[in-house]
Amino acid sequence: MSPRMVMRIMDEFRAAPKRRFGRSSPAADRLSPREWEIMNLLAAGRTTEETAAELFLSPTTVRVHVSTVLKKLRVKDRESALRVLRGE
């Protein structure tokens, strides 16, 4: 394993995911740490592919997490989910 990868893994374990959003609903409270992490990256403007690469996931896995978030928040699309999470 490369030193960069080791540092990355250590950084992930050191700090809990930072949330850019306020928890605005009981549904938002049910999001997993990974779902929050993915939504934070998408809110920061990352694409599905960029998010997947950054988290060492496949793009399909990112899409599955997003789909789960949409169901939990009872919204139709990512933009609506981000609005709910921002409390708009």
pLDDT single digits (tens) 15-47? 555 555 655 567 777 888 899 999 999 999 999
pLDDT of residue 25: 66
- Specify the amino acid at residue 65: H
pTM of the model: 0.72
Task: State the Cα–Cα distance between residues 14 and 61, nearest whole angstrom.
Answer: 23
Pair of tokens at residue 52: 């997947």
Pair of tokens at residue 13: 């374990």
Band of pLDDT at residue 7, cut at 50, 70 and 90: confident
